Amino acid sequence: MRPSILDPLFAPATTLSGVGPKLGKLLDKLLGDETQGARVIDLLFHLPTGAVDRRPSPSIADAPVGEIATFSARVAEHRPAPAGKAKAPYRVLVEDESGDVTLVFFHADVRHLLLTLPIGEYRIISGKLELWDGMRQMVHPDRIMDAKAFASLPAIEPVYGLTEGIGPRVMTRIAAGAAEKCPDLAEWQDPGFHAKSSFPTFFEAMQALHHPPDLRAVEGDTIARRRVGYDELLASQIALALVRRQQKKAAGRVTAGDGKLRRAIEAALPFSLTNGQREAVADIHADMEKPERMLRLLQGDVGSGKTVVALLAMAAAAEARRQSVMMAPTEILARQHAERLAPLADKAGLRLALLTGREKGAGRRQVLEGLANGEIDIAVGTHALFQEGVVFRDLALAVVDEQHRFGVHQRLLLGSKGEAVDILVMTATPIPRTLSLTWFGDMDISVLSEKPAGRKPIVTRAISSERLDEVVGAVGRAVDAGAQVYWVCPLVQESDTLDVAAAQERYEALRELFGAKVGLLHGQMPGRDKDAAMAAFSAGETRILVSTTVIEVGVDVPNASVMVIEHAERFGLAQLHQLRGRIGRGSAASTCLLLYKGPLGPVAEARLTIMRETEDGFRIAEEDLRLRGEGEVLGTKQSGSPDWRIARPEIDGDLLAAARDDARLLIERDPQLETPRGQAVRTLLYLFERDVAIRLLRAG
Ligand code: ADP
Ligand code: MG
């Protein structure tokens, strides 16, 4: 159970004073997700992205032009709009001995201005100072204050990510309210580390972040920000350490085969394995033969040939008369895996079945029976494999393709399907070392660094969307020459429906030109239609496949050698790389056309340049990290990865090793989190919502 001291933070945002249902709705949109509305903690963790400096200049002459300026001045004169010119602004002249400034008000409330700017009095004025015809002026000052009001306001004002309907002042007030609800919590950091780091406490850090004491306090790398970033890293490392410990404790089983099936599969392959594949296979078999559980990450760029490695691992399980599952993130991928693996499995006498949410009725019952009585060696599917009612006779190995949706939670579920299941996670995202640590803790890693022989480099070009006609022409010629083309439509906003509309429209336009050669695939199509579209493209019946990003992961049609990506400027680097990995798999030379709509911002431009320069997934991942650090204005939830609320891998990455060591040591010394520090750590896990790991403690 969550410690009650955290209750105020996990209460809805509407429990903050001044936040009614209407504001609450807007906050839900900004900070909530499909499953829940905005909570106080979401506001607490909604950190300022910058600050406005309202420290006063000594005189008007010293006040910076072109920036926010704050100064004290005497109100000299009110200048109403000339009679008959109702649209002209109302002006107020203020001055000191060094100069004057004209304050400009459109649609002025004159009575109000006479009250707030009485002639002869001094006021502190803050806003953007400009030069107009050589004269200083300020249109609609942000603040007009007397000395008392000025003293009560922070000189450094935090700036928050906003949403329509919530302006800066309101957001600042709400965030301050959230900071006020932050309890002073018992310290969970290691005392020695805490002393050495000179970190503030969590409470102090949150206050400093929302009430920045100086400008530096909001610019990136401050001690308060790092403190909380470290807390988050620590929480995730402790959660991982707990899972890991439990997995180790549940002793593994020895899965050792005689190599017969593996040899049969290798003999049936139309190619020979790369050295990387051989090494990975050897690593995996060695793990499986040990009495501990395997927890291994197989990392290899798109097209590096991970699937075969997985198949050989599953074959080893079958040799030991035990079962395997292979889990894909989408229906399409699961089907494709099953189709590709089936002939090879067949040759080796392995029995393979598909199980997704779409298998129904008698077919489904048959698969479930086969899994329960052991007639099926390999089940390929989606997360439907985890569901209740799916029982295995003797599950030895789970292969998880594409790790992103496979968190701690899923690992625990998987554990319930068989004792001591070995786990192989495959990812095509070349995760830089620092990041793989945060995601996977101390997983063992195998890397496929070389591509299979015979791959040709992909020519990548960036083309303005104004030249769409030329691109369509080139696509037509490529199709005439026998090529197949992926045509990817962009992410329009964050709405599925709009994406689909864009794809639909492009599909219809291309259909007019190329007729039945054009196919369409998007996320909102019924599963059957998706299969049919994919199958038609795979079989070469359609030559151009217009799609949304549903083809992003894993799809494999070797004859596809051209990819057009519309609005490439809207995609992240990792995504572009994943998409492009769908081509360049066959014997023909491949081309990727990145259509962009200008003018390009510096980050988008840098992304396209990198895409043109390299196919090296690791380099792209590093560059991606770098650009994300500098680039995107981070409104709300878009920090480096969806898993992080505060920590910025590109900045706080250096703290990661410390967090990991700390977590390991803690779990070693206090495995049940019972000491005072252990208790504080429990609170930490709840605070960052890593508390699923706490269940493991009770399970003991
Ligand atoms: P990914 O790592 O992206 O999952 P796949 O396993 O889908 O890659 O492999 C991509 C393609 O490369 C497949 O068509 C596969 O048959 C082929 N392939 C795999 N290994 C080799 C190899 N050693 N030599 C040649 N082709 C290979
Ligand atoms: Mg794959």
CATH of the domain at 62: 2.40.50.140
Q: Which ligand is nearest to the CA of 333?
A: 2
Four-CA torsion 608, 613, 618, 624, nearest 10 degrees: -20
Residues 167 and 305 in one domain: no
For ligand 1, the distance from its centroid to the CA atom of residue 585, given in whole angstroms, is 8
Q: Is 471 inside any structural domain?
A: yes
Boundary-marking domain end, from 585, 614, 643: 614
Residues 512 and 588 in one domain: yes
374 DSSP 8-state letter: T
Residue nearest to atom 25 of ligand 1 (CA): 452
Residues 432 and 567 in one domain: no
**Does residue 299 line the site of ligand 1, with CB under 6 A?**
no
Residues 129 and 197 in one domain: no
Phi, psi of 264 (to 5 degrees): -65, -40
For ligand 2, the distance from its centroid to the CA atom of residue 649, given in whole angstroms, is 26
For ligand 1, the distance from its centroid to the CA atom of residue 304, given in whole angstroms, is 6
pLDDT at 159: 86
Residues 90 and 30 in one domain: no
Rounded Cα distance between 280 and 136, Å, is 70
Residue 539 CB neighbours (<10 A): 10
Residues 384 and 526 in one domain: no
Beta strands in 358-404 (DSSP E): 378-381, 395-401
Residue 309 CA, closest ligand 1 atom number: 6
Closest CA to 11 of 34, 47, 35, 36: 36
Q: Which ligand is nearest to the CA of 274?
A: 1
Closest CA to 693 of 383, 412, 293, 421: 412
Q: Is 500 inside any structural domain?
A: yes
Q: Which ligand is nearest to the CA of 269?
A: 1
For ligand 2, the distance from its centroid to the CA atom of residue 269, given in whole angstroms, is 17
**Does residue 549 line the site of ligand 1, with CB under 6 A?**
no
For ligand 1, the distance from its centroid to the CA atom of residue 564, given in whole angstroms, is 22
For ligand 1, the distance from its centroid to the CA atom of residue 465, given in whole angstroms, is 33
Rounded Cα distance between 152 and 143, Å, is 13
Q: Is 97 inside any structural domain?
A: yes
Residue type present at position 281: V
**Does residue 324 line the site of ligand 1, with CB under 6 A?**
no
Cα angle at 567 between 562 and 573, to 5 degrees? Answer: 80
Rounded Cα distance between 312 and 264, Å, is 10
**Does residue 430 line the site of ligand 1, with CB under 6 A?**
no
**Does residue 271 line the site of ligand 1, with CB under 6 A?**
yes
Mutate to test the pocket of ligand 1, among 297, 538, 556, 615 (most ligand atoms within 8 A of CB): 556
Boundary-marking domain end, from 587, 614, 641: 614
Mutate to test the pocket of ligand 1, among 302, 307, 582 (most ligand atoms within 8 A of CB): 307
**Residue ranges of the chain whose pLDDT lies below 50:** 493-494, 553, 629-642, 699-700
Closest CA to 72 of 122, 121, 115: 122
Residues 183 and 260 in one domain: no
**Does residue 354 line the site of ligand 1, with CB under 6 A?**
no
Length, in residues, of the chain: 700
Tokens found for residue 604: 């988008």
Name the pairing type of β-strands 518-521 and 590-596: unpaired
Residues 548 and 583 in one domain: yes
For ligand 2, the distance from its centroid to the CA atom of residue 426, given in whole angstroms, is 8
Residues 79 and 109 in one domain: yes
Q: Is 533 inside any structural domain?
A: yes
Residue 558 CA, closest ligand 1 atom number: 14
- Any idea what the CATH number is for the domain that residue 542 is in? 3.40.50.300
Residues 48 and 193 in one domain: yes
**Does residue 337 line the site of ligand 1, with CB under 6 A?**
no
For ligand 2, the distance from its centroid to the CA atom of residue 517, given in whole angstroms, is 26
Boundary-marking domain end, from 107, 127, 153: 153
pLDDT at 387: 76
Tokens found for residue 127: 């806003």
Residue nearest to atom 24 of ligand 1 (CA): 452
Residues 487 and 607 in one domain: yes
Tokens found for residue 606: 């840098």
Does residue 599 have a cis peptide bond before it, meaning omega lies within 30 degrees of 0? yes
Number of structural domains found in the chain: 4
pTM: 0.59
For ligand 1, the distance from its centroid to the CA atom of residue 309, given in whole angstroms, is 9
For ligand 2, the distance from its centroid to the CA atom of residue 307, given in whole angstroms, is 6
**Does residue 306 line the site of ligand 1, with CB under 6 A?**
yes
Write out the residue range of the structural domain in which residue 557 sits: 458-614
Residue 581 CA, closest ligand 1 atom number: 3
